[in-house]
Amino acid sequence: MTLPIEVRLLDQRLREQLPAYATPGAAGMDLRACLDAPLTLQPGQAELIPTGLSIHVADPGYAALILPRSGLGHKHGIVLGNLVGLIDSDYQGPLMVSCWNRGTQAYAVQPLERIAQLVIVPVMQAQWTVVESFTPSHRGEGGFGSTGRG
């Protein structure tokens, strides 16, 4: 399923490199670091990196998530400073990626390197019904390992 989403290119280099699904079954589109020069992240350092894009999801029934790329995260320790980025449907500002080097080696992010991925997901907004007690469920209040370890 596809969803039309308006996108503004804030960096003209993206005209040739608009985020795209790499395979027919891809869930995410890679986002690039719109840098003018390499940016070295020392171990423990996090920096906000522009993607050169703004998007307007517009429909409150959807949101965009920014997720780490598996290879960068596993091999180089480059993940997201906010763990997951949530892009509200009414956000129109520049898409930024908080790049965090959680590893032990410095990592130089290159201009236009693919640093994270964007996934569009359906969203429901809750409408609260305030109650005094819930209809009993099988689990009840048990959590945090209540079903055992293995």
Ligand X SMILES: O=c1ccn([C@H]2C[C@H](O)[C@@H](COP(=O)(O)OP(=O)(O)OP(=O)(O)O)O2)c(=O)[nH]1
* Site residues (vs ligand X, CB under 6 A): 66, 82, 85-88, 91, 95-96, 98
Token output for 81: 């400073």
* Annotated binding residue 70: yes
* Annotated binding residue 118: no
Residue nearest to ligand X (CB): 85
| CA 89 – CA 101 distance, rounded (Å) | 28
- In contact, 91 and 6? CB cutoff 8 Å: no
Report the Cα 77 to chain-centroid distance in Å: 16
> In terms of CB distance, is 19 or 85 closer to ligand X?
85
Token output for 130: 């305030």
Computed on alpha carbons and rounded to an integer, the radius of gyration of the chain in Å comes to 19
Please report where in the chains the tokens 């908080």 appear, as a residue: 98
The least distance separating ligand X from the CB of residue 7, rounded to whole angstroms, comes to 13
* Annotated binding residue 71: yes
* Annotated binding residue 101: no
> In terms of CB distance, is 6 or 105 closer to ligand X?
6
> In terms of CB distance, is 85 or 103 closer to ligand X?
85
> In terms of CB distance, is 6 or 88 closer to ligand X?
88
Please report where in the chains the tokens 């985020």 appear, as a residue: 19
Token output for 49: 């990196």
The least distance separating ligand X from the CB of residue 10, rounded to whole angstroms, comes to 12
Please report where in the chains the tokens 């995260």 appear, as a residue: 73
The least distance separating ligand X from the CB of residue 94, rounded to whole angstroms, comes to 7
Q: Which residues are annotated as a binding site for substrate?
A: 69-71, 82, 86-88
Q: Which residues are annotated as a binding site?
A: 69-71, 82, 86-88
